[in-house]
């Protein structure tokens, strides 16, 4: 799975010229290394009579590819790929010849593609589904095909492997005894604020993907809504050369991200400890005291919000409401 937001350039160009079907000899012996594990994979190949096979692909390091993935790439009748170019590049890096037909299966065509792929699987084809990185169907293409296959009674199986979610949770260094995965953070400000209000009260850790271009804004809003001291981790470029994990309070991470972040990003925010949150109305007096001392109202609200974790906007609105009552 690519963690670039699919609306921000991560999706293959639907107008691009598709890869020609059947560019390799279907009778050729798959070009993949031999060995005891590969022999076992070949002997216990999933869906021998046809079906849909979901397979996790490496996040960045080809060495994370499983033996079963190697065999599946080499022997599938059809490879349904999020980006055919990246899948071919992965196969080349692994030394695998793609014997089957390679077709695109991404956000903008997977609904239309599903019926045809299921029909092929029902007639005996082994249809391998892969994305750019990680597991199909998990914030990535694949779900419509899986759903259609189940409805048609076509076998569906999965070859487990790399995934950014458990990798980030393990590396985060924050409490993740229970967690929720929320996919990509909402893009629109209103929806993102509403979502963060839910994150603020959740006892579970929350893991999500974010575009590097929006990370700073999301973390800044999270610091305001959830609280600047709530522990979190930003995991960047997992398994790649420049892998980085930044840990700290949301306020600290927002300040760090303000300078710009590159690469694919997974964020983990620790769950609430259940401590009751101070109501904005209870802090109006603190704000007014700072205003009486010469601070502008918005600055005073910012000071108190930063010290207490209360939303600056909610605090500002509470002060205005109190003044109207007076």
- Is it the case that residue 318 has pLDDT exceeding 90? yes
Domain ranges of the chain: 6-162, 165-269, 280-325
CATH of domain 165-269: 3.30.950.10
Q: How confident is the model at residue 9 (pLDDT cuts 50, 70, 90)?
A: very low
125-140 tens-digit pLDDT: 999 999 999 999 988 9
Q: Which class is 6-162 in CATH?
A: alpha beta
Q: Is 257 helix (H, G, I), strand (E, B) or coil?
A: helix
> Which residues partner with 158 through β-bridges?
54
Q: How confident is the model at residue 35 (pLDDT cuts 50, 70, 90)?
A: confident
Angle at 25 between CA 52 and CA 45, to 5 degrees: 35
- Asked if residue 19 lies in contact with residue 88, where contact means CB atoms within 8 angstroms, the answer is yes
Q: How confident is the model at residue 21 (pLDDT cuts 50, 70, 90)?
A: very low
Half-sphere exposure of 114 (CA within 13 A, CB side): 19
- Is it the case that residue 239 has pLDDT exceeding 90? yes
59-90 tens-digit pLDDT: 999 999 999 999 999 999 999 999 999 999 99
Is the model more confident about 269 or about 39? 269
The closest alpha carbon to 272, from 172, 183, 174, 190, belongs to: 174
Rounded to an integer, what distance in angstroms lies between the CA atom of residue 65 and that of residue 80?
17
Residue 62's pLDDT is what? 95
Task: Calculate the alpha carbon distances from 245 to 167, 172, 242 in Å.
Answer: 11, 7, 10
> Which residues partner with 104 through β-bridges?
81
- Is it the case that residue 36 has pLDDT exceeding 90? no
Q: How confident is the model at residue 326 (pLDDT cuts 50, 70, 90)?
A: confident
Q: How confident is the model at residue 18 (pLDDT cuts 50, 70, 90)?
A: very low
Rounded to an integer, what distance in angstroms lies between the CA atom of residue 325 and that of residue 66?
66
* pTM exceeds 0.85: no
Mean pLDDT of the region 259-288: 89
155-183 tens-digit pLDDT: 999 999 999 999 999 999 998 889 999 99
Rounded to an integer, what distance in angstroms lies between the CA atom of residue 242 and that of residue 163?
18
Rounded to an integer, what distance in angstroms lies between the CA atom of residue 31 and that of residue 34?
9
Rounded to an integer, what distance in angstroms lies between the CA atom of residue 52 and that of residue 151?
13
- Asked if residue 71 lies in contact with residue 95, where contact means CB atoms within 8 angstroms, the answer is no
Residue 5's pLDDT is what? 46
């Amino acid at each position: 799975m690519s963690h670039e937001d699919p609306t921000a350039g991560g999706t293959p160009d639907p107008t691009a010229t598709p890869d020609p079907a059947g560019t390799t000899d279907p009778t050729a012996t798959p070009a993949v290394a031999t060995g005891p594990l590969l022999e076992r994979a070949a002997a216990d190949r999933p869906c021998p009579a046809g079906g849909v096979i979901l397979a996790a692909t490496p996040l960045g390091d080809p060495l994370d590819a499983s033996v079963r993935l190697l065999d599946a790439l080499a022997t599938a009748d059809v490879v349904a790929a999020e980006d055919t170019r990246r899948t071919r590049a992965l196969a080349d890096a692994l030394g695998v010849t793609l014997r089957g037909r390679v077709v695109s299966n991404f956000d903008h065509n997977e609904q239309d593609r599903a019926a045809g792929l299921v029909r092929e699987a029902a007639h005996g084809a082994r249809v391998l589904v892969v994305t750019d990185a990680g597991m199909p169907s998990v914030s990535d293409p694949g779900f419509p095909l899986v759903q259609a296959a189940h409805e048609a009674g076509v076998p569906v199986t999965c070859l487990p492997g790399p995934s950014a979610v458990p990798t980030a949770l393990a590396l985060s260094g924050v409490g993740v005894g229970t967690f929720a995965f929320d996919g990509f953070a909402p893009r629109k400000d209103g929806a993102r604020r509403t979502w963060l209000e839910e994150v603020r009260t959740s006892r579970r850790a929350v893991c999500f993907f974010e575009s590097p271009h929006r990370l700073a804004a999301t973390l800044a809003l999270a610091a305001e809504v959830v609280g600047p001291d709530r522990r979190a981790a930003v995991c960047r470029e997992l398994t790649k050369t420049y892998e980085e994990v930044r840990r700290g309070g949301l306020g600290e991470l927002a300040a760090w991200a303000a300078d710009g972040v590159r690469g694919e990003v997974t964020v983990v925010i620790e769950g609430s400890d259940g401590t009751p949150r101070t109501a904005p109305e209870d802090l109006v007096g603190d704000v007014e005291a700072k205003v009486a001392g010469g601070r502008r109202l918005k600055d005073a609200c910012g000071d108190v919000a930063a010290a207490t974790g209360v939303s600056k906007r909610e605090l500002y609105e509470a002060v205005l409401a109190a003044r109207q009552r007076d």
